[in-house]
């Protein structure tokens, strides 16, 4: 019965069980059907990690699946329902858990991220408008941010969620600004410090809620996705009090295309990749900033996350022989399948337009009303 249901739903997306197309899936364990029907997204990911099924092109599989709105990826089941209710009723990312995302994801080790990412070690969407390589796309993204902020020599910039120091290094080198970067990852902080030696850059292992002082501009790249929705208003208040009059805020974040007031976290991503992750909606950003900061520009280029993620996957696969000694035994020996599933499922989701990427420029109310978009 469950097999018939799953096969019929897959056929709606043009996916055949044990077919010959690169997006078709091969079933290695018939328990796959029950696991997916009962646990939805979590069951689909876990069954892939176990080896219950294979697919030659996971990115194409997810592109077709999500483009056609296949319902059982987000099916109502005990796991997703419990997560939905917890997310609506509780603050799942209180200050006491601020460093959990760093410990469980970003502290996996710099060897992994340096092998997977480009030389700027940028772990966010590149800007491929005129780029032909991952490194070019990431440099173009960093420069785009600097130009949108209208950086001037000697200015002081707060980088919330500074990652491996990519923006701090680039802005200090090419725009002669001072940067204070915050991260909750010890591994990121250590690498960012080394990469920014000799520059006007300070890296702090610090939660954004503890930041003090004022800055000419504030930037946050790929961090807002870790700010649980009940903390959005607090985040905007911190940014507002940190921003000097006349300054700009650049918020670079993945966003939900649904556009409603709430976006439930994906159970598999939450369990295995980003434990405190929750993609914001457009309305959440506008509502949380209301009366505190005003939007001056909203730039969407989610189509560029597809080639970014595919490049990361290619680099990860190419480096696996060297990474295997360190990561081969993690997650019960399932790390490689888990990580590729993460990268390729996200690539397929962006390709299908299921999720988006936004760069939002904000300012103090009443300021910079004649801000001209930079692209």
DSSP state of 17: B
Q: Which of 125, 162, 196, 346 is catalytic?
A: 346
Concatenated DSSP letters of 312-348 = HHHHHHHHHHHHHHHHTTGGGGTHHHHHHHHHHHHHH
Token couple for 32: 């796959």
Secondary structure (DSSP) of 41-106 = HHHHHHHHHHTSEEES-HHHHHHHHHHTT-GGGG---HHHHHHHHHHHHS-SS-GGGTTHHHHHTG
Q: In whole angstroms, give the CA distance from residue 249 to residue 364.
A: 9
Sign of CA dihedral 194, 197, 199, 203: positive
Is 346 an annotated catalytic residue? yes
- Bridge partners, residue 347, by sequence: none
- Could you please report the per-residue DSSP string of 147-195? HHTT--TT-EEEEET-TTSHHHHHHHHHH--EEEEEES-HHHHHHHHHH
Q: Which residues form the catalytic set?
A: 346
């Amino acid at each position: 019965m469950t097999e018939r249901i799953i096969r019929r739903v897959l056929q709606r997306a043009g996916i055949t069980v044990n077919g010959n197309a690169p997006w078709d899936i091969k079933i290695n364990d018939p328990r796959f059907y029950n696991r997916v029907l009962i646990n939805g997204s979590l069951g689909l990911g876990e069954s892939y990690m176990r080896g219950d099924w294979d697919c030659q092109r996971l990115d194409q599989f997810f592109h077709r699946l999500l483009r056609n709105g296949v319902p059982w990826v987000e099916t109502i089941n005990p796991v997703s329902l419990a997560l939905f209710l917890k997310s609506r009723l509780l603050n799942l990312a209180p200050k006491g858990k601020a460093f959990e995302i760093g410990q469980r994801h970003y502290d996996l080790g710099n060897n992994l991220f340096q092998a997977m990412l480009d030389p700027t070690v940028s772990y966010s969407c590149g800007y491929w408008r005129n780029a032909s390589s991952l490194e070019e796309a990431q440099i173009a993204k960093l420069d785009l941010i600097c130009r949108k902020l209208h950086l001037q020599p000697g200015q002081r910039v707060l980088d919330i969620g500074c990652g491996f120091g990519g923006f701090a290094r680039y802005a200090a080198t090419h725009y002669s600004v001072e940067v204070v970067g915050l991260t909750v990852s010890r591994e990121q902080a250590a690498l960012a410090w080394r990469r920014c030696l000799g520059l006007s850059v300070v890296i702090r292992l610090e939660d954004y809620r503890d930041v003090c002082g004022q800055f000419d501009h504030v930037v946050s790249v790929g961090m807002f996705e870790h700010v649980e929705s009940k903390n959005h208003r607090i985040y905007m208040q911190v940014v507002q009090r940190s921003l000097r009059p006349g300054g700009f805020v650049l918020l670079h974040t993945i966003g939900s295309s649904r556009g409603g007031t709430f976006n439930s976290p994906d159970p598999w991503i939450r369990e295995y990749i980003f434990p405190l992750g929750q993609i914001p909606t457009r309305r959440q950003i506008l509502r949380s900033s209301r009366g505190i900061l005003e939007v001056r520009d909203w730039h969407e280029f989610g189509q560029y996350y597809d080639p970014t993620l595919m490049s990361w996957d290619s680099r990860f696969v190419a480096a696996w022989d060297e990474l295997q000694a360190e990561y081969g035994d993690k997650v019960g020996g399932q790390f490689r399948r888990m990580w590729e599933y993460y990268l390729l499922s996200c690539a397929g989701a962006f390709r299908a337009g299921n999720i988006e990427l936004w760069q939002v420029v904000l300012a103090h109310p009443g300021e910079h009303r004649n801000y001209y978009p930079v692209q």
